[in-house]
């Protein structure tokens, strides 16, 4: 996970998962990608055994040690993007741990290979028109076709470096050059969906099944990004028919790829992203509905994933 000092426990799904695991009697240890050490004999980690609570002072260290990851029953990879070399290296090491028979979730190979933005290409009929390119002329051509688009980096989260572009923007060229690093790094362009003002719907899928309530994130006034990190507000409401249709399509392929917990983003009925690195909104759905979403995750782990 990310360093616990950075965590906001009231909003963090990793904390929710740890609280639920602890309630089941599990011992909780935390580490970071930079604390992993691997070689021919296996993968170790410098870990801290912690006791967790639901308030601001939410974690207390009980002991520190260097431990082989094969000593654990379950290893969760809950590191936030960017999906950079440190992240990729961690998935390589976790491949070894999974090959040794440990339940590693989500599957490190899928975390590495299933880009959260580009993965929607597998479900193109559910997604808005999109293009991935580093070339300015490609992106400007896509904009000319759809008049208004959103461009976003492939390795970020929380609305970071996401831009809404119109054909008559005076700084169009400079934005494209900046986001693509002067035409060297591909980005995703999607047709802008004006329905985002009605909310960006986060569907939570556990073991391929849709949690029946959806977190709907609403952009603040004058903003098109609905991410809570960008000042969006949130309501929770029952899933609608389109939510269920999308979840039904995603469930089996995600489960088959070793994804136990995912978050799918839907705007105006269109699938825009599939978050598998560190899906969030457990806390919000639990707070609004009383559902034990995090406990449902551990039920799935115990009933299915520990046996595979």
**Annotated catalytic residue, options 273, 283, 284, 296:** 273
- Contact criterion met (CB below 8 Å) for 224 and 217: no
**Annotated catalytic residue, options 116, 191, 243, 275:** 275
> What's the maximum distance between 2 C-alpha atoms anywhere in the chain?
59
Q: Reply yes or no on whether 273 is catalytic.
A: yes
Q: Reply yes or no on whether 225 is catalytic.
A: yes
DSSP 252-282: HHHHHTT-SEEEEEEETTEEEEEE-SS---H
- Contact criterion met (CB below 8 Å) for 254 and 57: no
- Contact criterion met (CB below 8 Å) for 67 and 47: yes
Q: Reply yes or no on whether 166 is catalytic.
A: no
Q: Reply yes or no on whether 255 is catalytic.
A: no
- Lookup result for tokens 């461009």: 151
**Annotated catalytic residue, options 48, 78, 152, 296:** 152
Closest to 251 in 3D by CA, of 268, 234, 239, 237: 239
Q: Reply yes or no on whether 152 is catalytic.
A: yes
- Compute the Cα dihedral for 181, 186, 191, 194 and give only its sign: negative
**Annotated catalytic residue, options 48, 78, 79, 217:** 217
**Residue 234 has which token pair?**
């949130």
**Annotated catalytic residue, options 78, 79, 98, 117:** 117
Helix (H, G, I), strand (E, B), or coil: what is residue 40?
Answer: coil
Long-range contacts of 39-48 (CB under 8 A, 24+ apart): 42/68, 42/69, 42/70, 42/96, 42/97, 42/100, 43/68, 43/69, 43/70, 43/93, 43/94, 43/96, 43/97, 44/68, 44/69, 45/69
Q: Reply yes or no on whether 202 is catalytic.
A: yes
**Annotated catalytic residue, options 201, 225, 255, 296:** 225
Q: Reply yes or no on whether 217 is catalytic.
A: yes
End-to-end CA distance of the chain: 23
Q: Reply yes or no on whether 275 is catalytic.
A: yes
Region of residue 6 (phi > 0: left; psi between -120 and 50: alpha; otherwise: beta): alpha
**Annotated catalytic residue, options 265, 284, 286, 296:** 265
Q: Which positions are annotated as active-site residues?
A: 117, 152, 202, 217, 225, 265, 273, 275
């Amino acid at each position: 996970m990310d360093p616990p000092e950075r965590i906001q426990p009231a909003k963090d799904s990793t904390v929710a998962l740890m609280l639920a695991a602890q309630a089941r009697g599990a011992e909780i240890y935390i580490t970071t990608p930079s604390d992993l050490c691997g070689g021919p004999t296996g993968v170790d980690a410098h870990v801290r055994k912690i006791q967790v609570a639901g308030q601001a002072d939410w974690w207390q260290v009980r002991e520190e040690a260097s431990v082989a990851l094969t000593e654990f029953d379950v290893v969760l990879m809950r590191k936030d993007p960017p999906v950079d070399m440190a992240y990729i290296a961690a998935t390589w090491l976790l491949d070894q741990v999974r090959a040794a028979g440990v339940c590693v979730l989500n599957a490190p190979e899928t975390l590495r290979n299933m880009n959260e933005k580009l993965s929607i290409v597998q479900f193109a009929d559910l997604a808005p028109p999109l293009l991935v390119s580093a070339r300015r002329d490609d992106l400007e051509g896509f904009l000319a076709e759809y008049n208004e688009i959103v461009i976003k980096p492939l390795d970020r989260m929380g609305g970071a470096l996401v831009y809404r572009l119109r054909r008559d923007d005076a700084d169009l060229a400079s934005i494209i050059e900046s986001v693509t690093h002067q035409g060297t790094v591909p980005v995703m362009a999607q047709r802008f969906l004006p329905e985002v003002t009605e909310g960006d719907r986060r569907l939570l899928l556990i073991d391929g099944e849709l949690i029946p309530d959806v977190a709907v994130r609403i952009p603040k006034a004058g903003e098109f990004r609905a991410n809570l990190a960008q000042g969006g507000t949130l309501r929770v409401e029952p899933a609608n028919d389109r939510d269920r249709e999308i979840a039904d399509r995603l469930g089996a392929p995600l489960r088959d790829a070793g994804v136990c917990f995912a978050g799918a983003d839907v705007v105006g009925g269109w699938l825009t992203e599939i978050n598998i690195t560190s899906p969030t909104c457990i806390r919000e759905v639990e707070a609004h509905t009383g559902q034990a979403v995090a406990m449902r995750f551990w039920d799935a782990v115990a009933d299915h994933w520990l046996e595979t």
